[in-house]
Homo-oligomer: A and B are copies of this chain.
């Protein structure tokens, strides 16, 4: 059993109403792999960084149990860099800078011992890179999960739909689900998106929780824990996906029933992520912290 994650490992600079960072480690796959490794021991990461990267972070990932042998280091090049500033309500943000750098020519290398994984997470990357990743696997995984964002709907919709047709589960936020489907109702949007390929769909609604849609019109709603403070929402969606997949992989299952509980694990993992800047909080906690929030979660929804 194994879980392969591909996505960005990068630098971010973040400004929120609570403060401002310099360049810190970010990227979809950083969050996904940290969160999944809290719940599952066999996590492999495929990504690309420049020679400017914070290599201590890769060591810390390894210490958490993430195999980073698939992370390429491009000499003479710079890591992907994003900077953004959150609005006062923390629900929206402006992108200040996007420097693709090494991501612009990313050609994923999947180490031999990782090319037959049971679970695959295609983090937010160009659909072309996501497709190449699938092409380089030696067998069909039990479950392929894909994340994406509205940017790719604008510039690479056809490629995005081709990947979508090859995956089992798509995670996107509510706004993106509406954009991809052209439907305002999330129930209708889900039906249209699932007709594009994936048997399962997770629509993320941030502080409003998440919806899981599955075969035979099954729907499950997973709330978010009500929190005193949201310090930095960056990476919350990726942490959610990582917690989801880490727990699911630990069960060995891919059923709707197992996915429901996996979503709750994802939600609890995400509730830690937003407590500090970047990946900091995820690097401090252990599985037992997540289990503690599972108890709070059960109280929140117990009828």
A300 and B220 contact, CB distance less than 8 A: yes
Residues of B within 8 A of A89 (CB): 184
Q: With contacts A208-B208, A223-B223 known, is A228 near B185, CB below 8 A?
A: yes
Name the one of B184, B188, B205, B230 contacting A185, with C-beta atoms under 8 angstroms: B230
Decide if A285 is an interface residue (CB 8 Å cutoff).
no
Residues of B within 8 A of A185 (CB): 227-230
Q: With contacts A187-B227, A211-B226, A226-B211 known, is A301 near B301, CB below 8 A?
A: yes
Residues of B within 8 A of A209 (CB): 208-209, 223
Residues of B within 8 A of A230 (CB): 185
Copies in the complex: 2
Decide if A63 is an interface residue (CB 8 Å cutoff).
no
B300 and A219 contact, CB distance less than 8 A: yes
The residue in chain B whose Cβ has the minimal distance to the Cβ of A213 is B226
Residues of B within 8 A of A302 (CB): 220, 260
The residue in chain B whose Cβ has the minimal distance to the Cβ of A208 is B208
B226 and A223 contact, CB distance less than 8 A: no
Could you tell me the distance between the alpha carbons of A32 and B272 in the complex, rounded to whole angstroms? Answer: 39
Name the one of B188, B208, B260, B303 contacting A264, with C-beta atoms under 8 angstroms: B303
CB distance from A175 to the nearest CB of B (A): 11
CB distance from A127 to the nearest CB of B (A): 28
CB distance from A31 to the nearest CB of B (A): 23
Q: With contacts A205-B208, A303-B261 known, is A188 near B221, CB below 8 A?
A: no
Could you tell me the distance between the alpha carbons of A149 and B151 in the complex, rounded to whole angstroms? Answer: 38
Query: Which 3 pairs across A and B sit closest by C-beta, in order of nearness?
Result: A208-B208, A221-B223, A187-B228
> Can you offer 14 A-B residue contacts whose CB atoms are under 8 A?
A88-B184, A90-B184, A186-B226, A187-B226, A187-B228, A188-B228, A209-B209, A209-B223, A211-B226, A221-B300, A223-B223, A260-B302, A261-B303, A264-B303
Given contacts A188-B228, A301-B301, 13 further A-B contacts (CB under 8 A): A90-B184, A185-B229, A185-B230, A187-B226, A188-B229, A205-B208, A220-B300, A220-B301, A221-B301, A223-B223, A260-B303, A261-B303, A301-B303
